[in-house]
Structure 1
Amino acid sequence: RWQALFDPTNTGIITFQKFCDVLGVKPEQARTLRKSVVNNRPLPKDLQIISQNMSPEDQFQIFEFVRSQLDKNLSGQDMTQMIKQWLDKTFDPSWHVVIVDGSYWISYSHLPEQSLQFRLKEKCYLVWRTPKY
């Protein structure tokens, strides 16, 4: 039934525009509503934002992805590579990923709205994006 509504030609793809058209919602209204829902979402108790220069929507995507990888018991090296590959694919290339166990000090440059540092469980995660050269 959902397939017939949102993908009547069986392309296997449901676009945001088609989703809004079927529901009778203007895309900008849907975006505004999503932002208000995400912005008012409480942080999980085991997550602490250390520093951020990023939209709340992007932050939550990153939090959810990192959390989804924790049960895989990856090495630190494999985890940083997995996060970087996902960030490059999801938000465009040139991301840097550091996972820290304990205290750290860091100074770096990044693209606007492309930096996040957070603590999840026992580790700190630092991700930022630089320009492509």
Structure 2
Amino acid sequence: MEPFLEAFFSIDTDHSERITIRELQDYVKRNNIDQSMVKRWQVLFDANDSGVITLDEFCKTLGIRPSEARAYNANMVRASHGPSLPREVDVITATLPFDQQVDIVNEVMRLTRNEPFDENLVSKQLKQFLDRQYGRMWHVVITKGSSWCSFSYEPKTSFFFQLRKYTYLAWKTPS
């Protein structure tokens, strides 16, 4: 199903939820696809031979709800314009999923927006945030300068990064 949805939304460049035969022909030409795709799609998705394939007709033929197709497209768009880390963040090491890294950096930036800040308070607040968002047993270290550490952690739950003059270490241990 996904390749069909990807194709539909790639062809529908004006986001009208309608594909004209001309748009379909342009897509085929632009992507070096066999011209027979145009006729196959007309037969499959343009039952009333109107010269337009609507998202509703398309979904009906595929047996999916238009709302599911729209949700799929929204997720594709979000993924392609996904979140990013600010330029001033230097990731030292991370096993944490990227979206969670972004959440943590955003929280640190929120907590430290007014300098000077209380490092002890920020570490407590960041730990509370992590425990609340991702389950208990997070550990947070905020340091300036050099540091060394050895530790055990749950898989995919460590994130060490530098922001401005501080290094932030966060990891989760099994409860």
Q: Does TM-score exceed 0.5, indicating one fold?
A: yes
In the aligned structure 2, how far is the partner of 1:86 from the partner of 1:74? Answer: 17
The structural deviation recorded for 1:35 is 4.2
Task: Provide, for residues 70-120 of structure 1, a one-character-per-residue CA deviation record: whole Å limited to 9, x for no partner.
Answer: 124431110100000000001110000000101111111110110000000
Aligned length: 108
Q: 116-125 vs 25-34, which deviates more?
A: 25-34
Q: Say whether 1:126 aligns with 2:169.
A: yes
Structure with greater helix share of residues: 2
The structural deviation recorded for 1:46 is 1.1
The structural deviation recorded for 1:53 is 0.4
Q: Say whether 1:45 aligns with 2:87.
A: yes
Contact persistence 2:96–2:158 (CA under 8 A): yes
The answer for the alignment partner of 1:94 in structure 2 is 137
Contact persistence 1:35–1:57 (CA under 8 A): no
Change (3 A) 1:27 1:71: same
For residues 1-133 of structure 1, the aligned pairs below 5 Å read 24-25=67-68, 29=72, 30-31=74-75, 33-38=77-82, 41-72=83-114, 73-132=116-175
Percent pairwise identity? 30
In the aligned structure 2, how far is the partner of 1:42 from the partner of 1:58? Answer: 11
In the aligned structure 2, how far is the partner of 1:52 from the partner of 1:103? Answer: 18
Which protein has greater RCO, CA pairs closer than 8 Å, 6+ apart?
1
The structural deviation recorded for 1:45 is 2.2
Give secondary structure in 2 for the equivalent of 1:80: helix
Contact persistence 1:99–1:123 (CA under 8 A): yes
Change (3 A) 1:128 1:33: farther
Higher CA-based Rg: 2
Change (3 A) 1:113 1:120: same
Contact persistence 2:84–2:102 (CA under 8 A): no
- TM (normalized to structure 1)? 0.71
Task: Provide, for residues 5-54 of structure 1, a one-character-per-residue CA deviation record: whole Å limited to 9, x for no partner.
Answer: xxxxxxxxxxxxxxxxxx9245983556544433xx55322110000001
In the aligned structure 1, how far is the partner of 2:69 from the partner of 2:157? Answer: 28
- TM (normalized to structure 2)? 0.55
